[in-house]
């Protein structure tokens, strides 16, 4: 999205990329620690060196994107010898994601220390680190002890080439839809309990699209509670996602209770706004940084009863949800389009 935003603002962008992380859809607790992955990583780094030296034309700035903690070390060498400015856009903290949120390893483990080292080193080696919310910046500064690092704020946004208003076919039921990975951050269990509370309302139906760490548990809970008002759909290709999302009357954000959940505004919130869809997500400091509740989006505490009550309320008021969807769409177009965010990033680059 940022690449496209920069191009829209007349910045020449050269991509120097070798696929590695994206080859594995589900990254479990053993991902990244096998000899096979180590070999793949070293091979990818060698290819990256070749692409940078032989295939990359003249440039002024090097930007490392998500999930580039391991790439910053190589990029720093290029930046020093080529006298380039180095910008890191991590999107997330590896330590926060793997250790605090998903709890794959103990905080006292060697692997936890490795992730902390990667986060800190990548940020300290960069001239500027870009993050999506002030809450996120505060975490990096205070929890990761990076007060002396130069941070810049830049929201995530959505890709309007994929996500834009689409006509919805009329449904007999009120369709509530979640799209994303089934991980603790997203609070899927909250959505399941809310669906259980609303299962006697035959007019409200839930669709969960995705896969991930908690999928087995989700299926078990649906079976235990005999939830006939939920449909599970496997992962949908990114380019086709909007065609499915257009069927929703209400989209859901995240409802996780971890500290990380309070600091981020997930991509799905911006995607909903770009599609002119109402969205309900958890009430967090990060959400309130960027949006006005009940004007641009709907919010609820991460509590199944409150989520269910809010869904029921939104279902009962078509006029209200259409008003919020419309205002949210206008607000998105005024603040978060690719061109607008690309312009903000361009300003950051020029200020260097």
- Residue 23, token pair as written in the block: 């080859």
Does residue 188 form part of some domain?
yes
At 64, give phi and psi (nearest 5°): -100, 125
CATH (domain of 227): 3.40.50.2000
Least confident of 28-32, 62-66, 173-177, 335-339: 28-32
Q: Give the per-residue pLDDT at 27.
A: 57
DSSP string, 143-187: TTT-TTS-EEE------TTT----PPPP-SSEEEEEES--SGGGT
Whether residue 330 sits in one domain with residue 185: yes
Q: 3-class DSSP state for residue 282?
A: strand
Q: Give the per-residue pLDDT at 265.
A: 92
Instruction: Assess contact for 252 and 280: CB atoms under 8 A.
Output: yes
> How many domains, in total, are found in the chain?
2
Q: Look up the pTM and report it.
A: 0.90
Pairing assessment for the beta strands 204-209 and 128-131 based on DSSP bridges: unpaired
Does residue 319 form part of some domain?
yes
Whether residue 186 sits in one domain with residue 107: no
Whether residue 330 sits in one domain with residue 197: yes
Pairing assessment for the beta strands 128-131 and 151-153 based on DSSP bridges: parallel
Does residue 165 form part of some domain?
no
pLDDT per residue over 105-119, tens digit each?
888 899 899 999 999
Dump strand ranges (E) for the chain.
Answer: 61-64, 85-88, 128-131, 151-153, 174-179, 204-209, 230-233, 250-252, 279-282, 298-300
Whether residue 321 sits in one domain with residue 225: yes
Mean pLDDT computed over 18-30: 68
Does residue 253 form part of some domain?
yes
Give the domain range for residue 201.
Answer: 174-335
Does residue 166 form part of some domain?
no
Whether residue 257 sits in one domain with residue 231: yes
Whether residue 289 sits in one domain with residue 206: yes
pLDDT per residue over 204-235, tens digit each?
999 999 888 788 888 988 999 889 999 999 88
What does pLDDT average to over the chain? 91
Give the other-Cβ count within 10 Å of 58's Cβ: 7
CA 139 to chain CA mean position, Å: 17
Q: 3-class DSSP state for residue 116?
A: helix
Q: Give the per-residue pLDDT at 214.
A: 82
Q: Starting at the earlier edge strand, list the strands of the sheet with 151-153.
A: 61-64, 85-88, 128-131, 151-153
Whether residue 34 sits in one domain with residue 147: yes
Q: Is residue 201 pLDDT above 90, yes or no?
A: yes
- Residue 228, token pair as written in the block: 């006939």
Whether residue 270 sits in one domain with residue 347: no
Give the alpha-carbon dihedral of 180, 100, 28, 266, to 10 degrees. Answer: 20
Q: Give the per-residue pLDDT at 23.
A: 63
Does residue 123 form part of some domain?
yes
Does residue 162 form part of some domain?
no
Whether residue 330 sits in one domain with residue 255: yes
Whether residue 228 sits in one domain with residue 127: no
Does residue 168 form part of some domain?
no
Whether residue 108 sits in one domain with residue 144: yes
pLDDT per residue over 60-104, tens digit each?
999 999 889 999 999 999 999 999 999 999 999 999 888 887 778
Whether residue 313 sits in one domain with residue 180: yes
Q: Which of 342, 304, 120 lies closest to 227, judged by CA?
A: 304
């Amino acid at each position: 999205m940022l690449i496209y935003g920069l191009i829209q603002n007349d910045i020449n962008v050269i991509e120097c990329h070798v696929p590695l992380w994206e080859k594995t859809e589900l990254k479990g607790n053993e991902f990244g620690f096998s000899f096979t992955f180590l070999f793949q990583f070293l091979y990818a780094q060698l290819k990256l060196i070749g692409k940078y030296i032989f295939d990359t034309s003249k440039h002024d700035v090097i930007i490392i994107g998500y999930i580039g903690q391991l790439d910053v070390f190589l990029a720093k060498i290029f930046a020093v010898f080529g006298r380039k400015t180095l910008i890191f856009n991590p999107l997330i903290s590896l330590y926060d994601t793997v250790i605090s949120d998903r709890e794959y390893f103990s905080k006292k483990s060697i692997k936890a220390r490795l992730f902390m080292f990667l986060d800190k080193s990548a940020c300290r080696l960069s001239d500027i680190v870009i993050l999506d919310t002030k809450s996120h910046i505060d975490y990096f500064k205070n929890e990761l002890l990076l007060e002396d690092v130069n941070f810049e704020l830049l929201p995530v946004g959505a890709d309007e080439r994929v996500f834009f208003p689409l006509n919805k076919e009329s449904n007999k039921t009120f369709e509530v839809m979640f799209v994303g990975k089934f991980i603790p951050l997203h609070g899927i269990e909250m959505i399941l309990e809310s669906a259980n509370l609303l299962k006697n309302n035959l007019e409200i139906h839930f669709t969960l699209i995705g896969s991930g760490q908690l999928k087995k548990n989700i299926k078990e809970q649906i079976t235990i509670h005999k939830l006939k008002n939920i449909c599970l759909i496997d992962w949908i290709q990114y380019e086709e996602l909007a065609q499915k999302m257009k069927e929703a009357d209400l989209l859901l954000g995240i409802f996780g209770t971890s500290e990380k959940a309070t600091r981020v505004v997930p991509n799905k919130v911006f995607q909903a706004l770009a599609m002119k869809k109402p969205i309900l997500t958890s009430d967090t400091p990060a959400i309130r940084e960027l949006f006005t509740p009940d004007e641009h989006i709907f919010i609820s505490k991460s509590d199944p009863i409150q989520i269910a009550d809010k869904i029921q309320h939104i279902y009962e008021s078509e006029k209200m949800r259409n008003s919020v969807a419309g205002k949210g769409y206008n607000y998105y177009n005024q603040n978060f389009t690719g061109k607008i965010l690309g312009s903000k990033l361009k300003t950051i680059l020029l200020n260097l």
